[in-house]
Amino acid sequence: MSLNYIEVPVMFEYKAAKRLRLHAGPTLGVLLSSKEENQDGELPDQPAFEKYEIGIAGGLSFYITPQFSLNLRLSNSVLPIRKVGVDYGNTVSGQYNSGLAFTLKYTFASKKETAQ
């Protein structure tokens, strides 16, 4: 399964220690394309995915220097991205997105910030 989203996270950050920051917040994603395949090729006639995804993300940043940081973020959709399975009264089982990201970030600082 290959799903391509454009996602906008709104992250709230908390400075837990001098070099450690925690962040969490909601995300909104828009599905750009999807493709499902197995060892025999593309799978036709699969249930459609939702066009929009609402999720939540959280993680931490460890600052190596004031400009460089290592980041870990875990995100998960709150609502199903595709409804599948059996209808259990008012609820339908579904599929959800989960993501784990490791990044190295460089923050550009203004001359005013570096002088402090």
Which DSSP string do the residues of 41-71 spell out, in sequence order? EEPPSPPPPPSEEEEEEEEEEEESSSSEEEE
Residue-wise pLDDT tens digits, 58-70: 999 999 998 999 9
Burial class (CB in 10 A: 0-12, 13-18, 19+), 53: buried
The whole-number pLDDT of residue 115 equals 47
Residue-wise pLDDT tens digits, 66-98: 899 999 999 999 999 998 765 556 665 788 999
Question: Is 66 or 110 the better-scoring residue by pLDDT?
Answer: 66
Question: Is 13 or 91 the better-scoring residue by pLDDT?
Answer: 13
